[in-house]
Structure formats: structure tokens, C-alpha cells
Structure 1
Amino acid sequence: MIVSKDRERGEDYWLARPATIGLLKKLFIAALVLLVLADFTVEHHSYFGIDGTFGFGAWVGFVTCMALIAVAKMFGTLLKRPDSYYDN
């Protein structure tokens, strides 16, 4: 297995290397920019006023993702148990 060979040699797994992480970030950002720019090539037929704006899917998806993260953090603080909860 590749992971065990890397660990035996004392090397980081290829996805954990800082250079790989930086490259993946750049690739993902480039892909997202290309997808938003591809919005110029699509003719929009809006059903309500705001859905015909440029990059609607991108910014609505981003706002929705941020809202889901905020709700998850809120539930996490409400449902959190102390570290000693299972200690007897």
C-alpha cells in the first residue's frame, strides 16, 4: 500500500504535503473561476428577478454553505457535552 510505504520511509502522504495542498487550492480556485465565467455563455431565463443575475448559482451556493456551517456550529454549542461526560 502506498500510504504505508510513505510512512515507513518517514515521508508525508502526498495529500498532506504543503506543496500538494497549495497546488490543489490553486486548481480548485481556477475551476471555480472557469465555472463562473462559463455563466456568460448561458442564456438565463429567470423565474423570479434575482435568479437571472450573473453567478447566481455560485453566490447562492456559497451563502447557503456558510449558513449551513453557522447552523451546525450553533447546534454544536447547544448539544456539546463536557469532556468528563462519560467518566464515572
Structure 2
Amino acid sequence: MAEQNHEQSGFFDKPENIRKMLRVFYVICALLVIVDLIVNRHIYHDWENIPAFYAIYGFVGCVVLVLIATEMRKFLMRKEDYYDE
């Protein structure tokens, strides 16, 4: 009897599941923006009045972290056989 090679495919291996998850994330993002416009926040600084300030702040922070990490990689990176020497 020939052995059948049935690998189990994961949830994220199916494109339709990825599309469903992206739709869910987009809906959640839209709801969070709507809630941000409705909820009365107690602000301490004037720039917190900018619509979607915290989303922009978080995005810029992530971009800055990636840029800093790519620069740090230049002087922190070791050769592949660093510990073998």
C-alpha cells in the first residue's frame, strides 16, 4: 500500500483565511477610530487633539525603531562562525 503524504495545512496557509483575518483587522481598526472620535479623552497637551494622534504616534515610533535597528545591525552583527573560532 502506497504511503500518502498528507501534510496538514495551517490556518494561515489558506488565502481565504488570510482575507478573512485582514477584514476582521480592518473592521477593528475602523471601530477603534470611530470610538476615538466619540470618547471624551482627558488631554494634557494640545497635540493630543489631533485626530488619530496615538495611531500616528505609534506608527512613527515603530518606523523609528526599525530604522534604528537596521543601523545598529551594522556594528552589532557578527560573522556566522563567530563562536567557532
Residue 35 of structure 1, CA deviation: 0.3
Partner amino acid, structure 1, of 2:82: Y
Residue 31 of structure 1, CA deviation: 0.8
Q: Which residue is equivalent to 2:67?
A: 70
Rounded Cα–Cα distance in structure 1 between residues aligned with 2:15 and 2:83: 37
Q: Deviations over 1:2-40 (max 9, x none)?
A: xxxxxx622421123222222212211221121012112
Matched, 1:21 2:18: yes
Residue 85 of structure 1, CA deviation: 2.5
Partner amino acid, structure 2, of 1:76: R
Rounded Cα–Cα distance in structure 1 between residues aligned with 2:22 and 2:66: 20
TM-score by length of structure 1 reads 0.71
Q: 1:12-51 residue pairs with structure 2 within 5 A? A: 12-51=9-48
Aligned length: 81
Percent of aligned positions that are identical: 28
- Structure 2 residues without counterparts, runs of 5 or longer: none
Rounded Cα–Cα distance in structure 1 between residues aligned with 2:13 and 2:84: 34
Partner amino acid, structure 2, of 1:54: P
- Structure 1 residues without counterparts, runs of 5 or longer: 1-7
Residue 60 of structure 1, CA deviation: 1.0
Rounded Cα–Cα distance in structure 1 between residues aligned with 2:6 and 2:39: 50
Residue 86 of structure 1, CA deviation: 3.5
